[in-house]
Structure 1
Amino acid sequence: MSDYKYTNLAEIPSIKDKAAEWFHSKWGVPKEAYLECMDAFLNGETDYGWYLCLDNNKIIAGMGVIENDFHDRKDLTPNVCAVYTEEKYRCQGIAGKLLNMVVEDCRQKGISPVYLITDHTSFYERYGWEFLCMVQGDGEPEMTRMYIHR
């Protein structure tokens, strides 16, 4: 694990297209939507960033911060989104380290609290996240758990 590189997209903007394609392959959200958010970050239009873990030059985990992660509580912002770790790299603390990196980066920019939605019930608590409420996902019939990191 010590060989992994934890970074944000501003440190390696040349991998923007690769990162957008990687996130698209995991979540099915159009690549163009990721590129739009990443460009806004890289162009200084938003402080909400994109964070990656690399094994050599291969993306093995990542997440972003956006205004709203497709739910009805538009007042709960910003949201950590697109959290994903490749299966063979799970259970090594990679996502936790990225989550901590995101929270700290946001805090340094004066952004606090930060929110996320998930159907996981115990993972995020390990990293200081607290259950806040249930929210309605856009176009989803069921409610989803909303967490907060203060």
Structure 2
Amino acid sequence: MKILPLYAVPQYGPQVTDWLWQAFGTSDSRDFFASIVATSQREGEMPLTFVAVEGDKLVGTVGLWRCDLISRQDLYPWLAALYIDEKQRGRGLGAQLQQHVIEYARTLGYPQLYLYSACKDYYERFGWQYIGDGLDYPSKSVHLYRFTL
């Protein structure tokens, strides 16, 4: 498996858009996710999208974004939009994609990385520290995590 920036393999952009829209969006938000994916494909700039590829098959994706939770713009950067193809889950790909973003953020000199999730007990297994709850728009409670680099 290789983890590549999406700008190096832009043919996977439509699939990443569909995954993010289906996993995190609403029926009318595909254009929103298409915009995120389109603007995360510029070399050397954030936001960035990374993809996990086996042969020519897309198996997962993750982002490194300036902001992923509008109510907490004081925190940055964010590991965002971690998604593994349903048929590929249980193989440790989520851990590998997290580690890739952690190492990338470390090389950029960031002291910490943040993420939010509606689920609890997943990210703690990988060294993320729960730091409290936040609000996703408009009023959904989510768990906030920090990873010290």
Residue 6 (structure 1) aligns with:
3
Asked if structure 1 preserves the Cα contact closer than 8 Å seen for 2:37 and 2:49, the reply is yes
Is the contact made by 2:112 and 2:147 (CA closer than 8 Å) also made in structure 1? yes
Distance 2:67 2:93 in 1: 24
- Return the alpha-carbon distance in structure 2 between the equivalents of residues 69 and 47 of structure 1: 12
Give the 5 Å matches for 1:1-150. Answer: 4-28=1-25, 30-44=29-43, 46-140=45-139, 142-150=140-148
Q: Hey, what's the Cα distance between the residues in 2 that align with 1:46 and 1:85?
A: 24
Per-residue CA deviation, residues 41-92 of structure 1 (Å, 9 max, x unaligned), is: 4334733311212233232211212222234111012222221212232221
Structure 2 gap segments, 5+ residues each: none
Match of 1:68, SS state, is coil
Structure 1: gaps of 5 or more residues = none
Name the CA distance, whole Å, in 1 between partners of 2:62 and 2:37: 11
Identity of aligned residues (%): 21
Once structures 1 and 2 are overlaid, which stretch shifts more, 110-119 or 5-14? Answer: 5-14
Give the TM-score normalised by structure 1.
0.81
- Report the TM-score, using the length of structure 2 for normalisation: 0.82
Verify the 8 A CA contact 2:40 2:46 in the aligned structure 1: yes
1:103 Cα deviation (Å)?
Answer: 0.8
- In 1, the alpha carbon distance for the partners of 2:20 and 2:135 equals 23
Report how many aligned residue pairs link the two structures.
146
